[in-house]
Amino acid sequence: MNPEQELFDRLYYYSQNELNYDTYDQLPRSNAEYPFIEIAETQNDSIDAKNALSGEITQTINIWGNQDMRFLVAEMMNKFLLDRLESDHYIFDLMQSQKRILPDSSVPNTRLFHGILTLDFNYMKGRN
């Protein structure tokens, strides 16, 4: 499996099963309850593209909450600031993070907070 998919799967599992957050791989239908997590865009810059031995991955995670959940959105973002993640084949070290919380009115008659968390990981081939 490629490193960006393993990181995506590991973050999805962590969000859904360890943090017990409602987690999606795309924006859910309009009946989803707030707050929820969307494991979003992934960008991989491989150093050795053929063997995927090491490189950098940027992963975006979106956190959505209603107008009363700004503190909760910020708290949820912080739970993803992990120094290291391991998957079946790779080790991912968090190098940098960026956090933004924006007001959002894209849903009619609804005020939301949209947390955008950008995580930059270095990875290297690990076990197996």
122 neighbors 44 (Cβ within 8 angstroms): no
The whole-number pLDDT of residue 51 equals 61
Q: Which residues of the chain carry a pLDDT beneath 50? A: none
The whole-number pLDDT of residue 48 equals 65
The whole-number pLDDT of residue 52 equals 58
Q: 117: Cβ–Cβ under 8 A, 6 or more apart, which residues?
A: 60, 61, 62, 63, 77, 80, 97, 98, 99
d(CA 60, CA 58): 7
The whole-number pLDDT of residue 16 equals 97
The side-by-side arrangement of strands in the sheet containing 23-24 is 23-24, 36-46, 54-66, 112-125, 90-104, 84-86
Sign of the CA dihedral with 32 first, then 10, 18, and 63 last: negative
Q: What is the phi/psi pair of residue 18, to 5°?
A: -95, -35
The whole-number pLDDT of residue 45 equals 83
